[in-house]
Structure 1
């Protein structure tokens, strides 16, 4: 038996990919991305309490997700042209730079800017890691490995909320971002040493115009969704103008992508019903995911008056349900097929959304956690199924962009969802506070809700003001959760029309 050091030396000398070590590096990288979601969501109430700017709450998520959504397609295409390794390494380093800067942010505006930088790198981490797995393993192996990778979400779910709560309560929320640094460095070292690729040498062209059109159109839509009904009337000139920019930009993007030789988003992918429906359902489930992770801790802390650690563990149940379901999905795909596995996940999403609609402060965090668990099960069964089925339907030269297209739709869904649901929350809360100022005995604004997320400030509020703020947040979030139910139903309908199970063929490099 060769020692571990001997195996490492042979792998480096012979320049052969050592799958166990590459998989370990990928797991660390995905853990970094996974824990980012749970730990930041848990810390956000504390960040808002420190920096202020409740009305900008959604932008912290939207800025990160916007840049991730736009760059994921570029990274996917670049990985098909230049290989997975250099793109993954570049993405991780940019992500770490953004993480370090986020920890030093002194205002909500600066935090949003630094989250843009973090998102610029995040666009490469998870999709390229998932693509590498698709390269190294056959279809039968992928179904199992993707399930194992999903267990990363379970581990991060346990550690993320707990660490987030500890950092906010006992240290500083900056450590929420700084803890990414050692994880990213370890991941990069593993990929550099043990992943070796043979890239076909040919002329390479990057579709920067297409990426730019996508950035302009999606950014315009998100600004309108967040500010519409709050800073601007829906029929105001800025809102209408930006909607026009979105529409024109989208049309130009589709037209340009149909003509360019190396498109950032090959429209031919969407001609495959499996890819088109999987990506569409991934978009709607992406909105559901951000709706739960962004706003549930706020409700648990601000209305239920629970500490950050308890709020974090209501999200933990979602991330525990996800890997369990993903592991099961890996086996179900091989027995009952893609469509049936996804349908079961769709039902779980609907049940989870119903739990949220029925939720009220008296039911406590256990009820919130149960709803999160069902959402996690639904995400695990659908997300794993979509990735495995898409990767099995294309060859190596398109696997990077095909995988990236699915990640793009999830990230785009989360980006649009953060803006859309945040806009709904702000609009409903603004209307509620305006109509209940007499009951509160003073004028209230959206930013007054900052006080709900700081225990000392909350205790200093008069009973009438506290009641109005908590009732307003409950009322506003009810509208958000109704939206989640409608999206869960839409996801189920899309999954229902997926192609029926067929005998799978393994497509190798």
Structure 2
């Protein structure tokens, strides 16, 4: 465990260097694989004759990640995060190997489901490692680095995946990441060896019920992502899935989360709302540029690249000056920037403005998220004790996944229903705008957990 005397240290020097490099690399590789799959999946689907399972190959990973989050969080709260991290990385690598060796689409989907278990567990376990090894004053820096590790893949991931597929084979998009993951996991473990990251007062109680609720959430999220396939029954499926997710998620989140209770519940709720707003709308930015302006897929990625760069810059500002800016101001600045980006996007779609308005304006979305996203993680750990760091970290990630999955599904059903009209894109961005404004409610109720002094 770290002490207050550690606050003068840097995450990139001394005893933290190896863990920081390895952990950031693991986050980077998970992000790279996630974005690379988007590029290569059409080729994989064609080779394996798997069009019918195309959507499941994406949604399955998100769904099973919830189970991994809950399992890793409970495990870390009862002992050390190191065994949970080891199990998660092992599952991630096994899933990648199965997907890379797949001879059918069914086999690839199995690999992706196992990969999701590892991805969710790895995220939560790394959060707890940060909580127990780094002093609170350095948490913002670490999570800013994690945010940057998600940004770089958005810049080079699609191009690199295309090059690997063209000059080697799509299988190496999976197998190559598996090999590198093993390498950097060894780096992390070599630095964690001998460090006692156990909690002095481990959490107690049975976890079977929580895992059962996690499975229910995963099943609901998977069904929700396929709602568009049910035609006239789509909204019935959306409603039923949302009810299942809401009921099953309550025991996995802090009490009063769905009522925006002050403190940690509002932190977790805000994460879900802004994740739904950003990730739900983001997939329609390149779609708009391709469909309405005739951009190629490569050039359409510019809309996301500007946001990625702004996200990294804002995350670094938050990491350095977050305590000085304050949580209320971060909420107001972040929500204002995200909402402005959605206004630019909606106006571009509605009025057919020059595409530069959308591309430049969408950078504001990245800037807003770069301020808010890592700050919410810092606050979650600040509100936590060694007995519930795993639970709270998993709750934050679960809220993230549920918010994104629900928003994407609802926006997809609405967009499909408006096909053939000019209202689809503006309405999708309007839904995201409403979610953004709703985020102000929990955002201004987060309070402070004395995160700068812990």
Equivalent pair of 1:213/1:250 in contact (CA under 8 Å): no
Cα deviation, residue 98, structure 1 = 1.8
Selected match of 1:102 from 91, 99, 102: 99
Correspondence list, 1:392-411, <5 A:
392-411=382-401
Cα displacement (A) at 1:183:
2.6
Query: What corresponds to 2:5 in structure 1?
Result: none
SS in 2 for 1:233: helix
Aligned with residue 333 of structure 2, among 333, 337, 344: 344
Deviation by residue 1:304-348 (Cα, 9 ceiling, x = unmatched): 444443233432222211121111112332212122112211111
TM-score of the pair, normalised by structure 1: 0.74
Contact 1:275–1:390 (Cα < 8 Å) also in 2:
yes
Is 2:305 the counterpart of 1:316?
Answer: yes
If the length of structure 2 is used for normalisation, what is the TM-score?
0.82
Matched, 1:70 2:67: yes
Taking the aligned partners of 1:421 and 1:405, their CA distance within structure 2 comes to 24
Aligned residue in 1 for 2:111: 114
Q: Equivalents in 2 of 1:113, 1:480: separation in Å?
A: 32
Alpha-carbon separation, structure 1, partners of 2:245 and 2:103 = 34
- Mapped partners of 1:280, 1:102: distance in 2: 34
Q: Structure 1 residues 149, 223: closer, same or farther in 2, change over 3 A?
A: closer
The residue correspondences of 1:352-371 to structure 2 (distance < 5 A) are 352-360=341-349, 366-371=356-361
State the distance in 1 between where 2:235 and 2:72 align. 37
Local SS of the residue matching 2:98: helix
Are residues 476 and 56 of structure 1, via their aligned partners in 2, closer, same or farther at CA, if it must alter by over 3 Å?
farther
Q: Distance in 2 between matches of 1:491 and 1:358?
A: 22
Deviation at 1:368, TM superposition (A): 4.2
Match of 1:226 in 2: 226
Deviates more, 1:97-106 or 1:408-417: 97-106
CA distance in 2 between counterparts of 1:122 and 1:63 reads: 12
Using a 3 Å threshold, how does the CA distance of structure 1 residues 366 and 86 change in structure 2: closer, same or farther? Answer: farther
Measured after TM superposition, the shift of residue 104 of structure 1 is 4.6
1:55/1:426 contact within 8 Å kept? no
Cα drift, residue 208 of structure 1? 2.1
Residue 36 (structure 1) aligned to one of 29, 33, 58: 33
Equivalent residues of 1:273, 1:498 under 8 A apart: yes
2:226 is paired with a residue whose SS is: helix
Question: For residues 483 and 115 of structure 1, what CA distance do their matches in structure 2 show?
Answer: 30
In structure 2, what is the equivalent of residue 445 of structure 1? none
The match for 2:453 is 506
Listed as ranges, the gaps of 5+ residues in structure 2 are 1-13
The match for 2:21 is 24
| Count of equivalent residues | 436
Q: Does residue 1:491 correspond to 2:430, yes or no?
A: no
Partner of 1:6: none
The structure with more radius of gyration: 1
**How far, CA to CA, are the matches of 1:214 and 1:421 in structure 2?**
24
Structure 1 counterpart SS, 2:388: helix
- Structure 1 match to 2:265: 276
Residue 145 (structure 1) aligned with residue 142 (structure 2): yes
